[in-house]
Amino acid sequence: IKEHYENNGPYDGIIGFSQGGYMVRTLMKADILGFPDLKLSPGFVILISSAIPYWDKIKPIIEGDYSSPVLYIYGSNDPITKPFDYCICPRSDTTVIFHKKGH
C-alpha cells in the first residue's frame, strides 16, 4: 500500500466499502498502529457500510479523530454494520447519511 501510494498518490480522497472501510480506518491510524512511514492525508474519506470486525478489540485503536473529514453512509436495514459504528469519529466535519436499504 505504501509503495502504491508513493508512486501514484497523493489522492484527493479515499473510499472504503464494508471491510474496505475498515481497512481505510486502519490506514488512517497507521502511525499509532506501528507504521509511521505510511502517512495518508487525503482531503476526505468516504466510508460506506464500513463493517468493523472484532469491535471490542479494535475500537480503542481506531476510534477518535482522523486527519481528514469523513462521510459515513449506512443502510438502516444493514444486517452486518451496526449504526453506532460511525460514532467513533467525533470530528465536527463528520457527516453521516442513512438510507433505507441494507448493506
Q: Which three cell numbers stand for residue 18?
A: 464494508
Cα separation, 62 vs 69, whole angstroms? 15
Find, among 31, 32, 97, the residue nearest to 70 by Cα.
97
In the set 49, 50, 78, 85, the catalytic residue is 78
Q: Is 93 a catalytic residue?
A: no
* CB contact set of 43 (below 8 Å; sequence gap of 6+): 12, 13, 68, 69
In the set 4, 18, 37, 56, the catalytic residue is 18
Q: Is 78 a catalytic residue?
A: yes
Cα separation, 94 vs 73, whole angstroms? 11
Question: Cis peptide leading into 79, omega within 30 of 0?
Answer: no
Residues labelled catalytic:
18, 78, 103
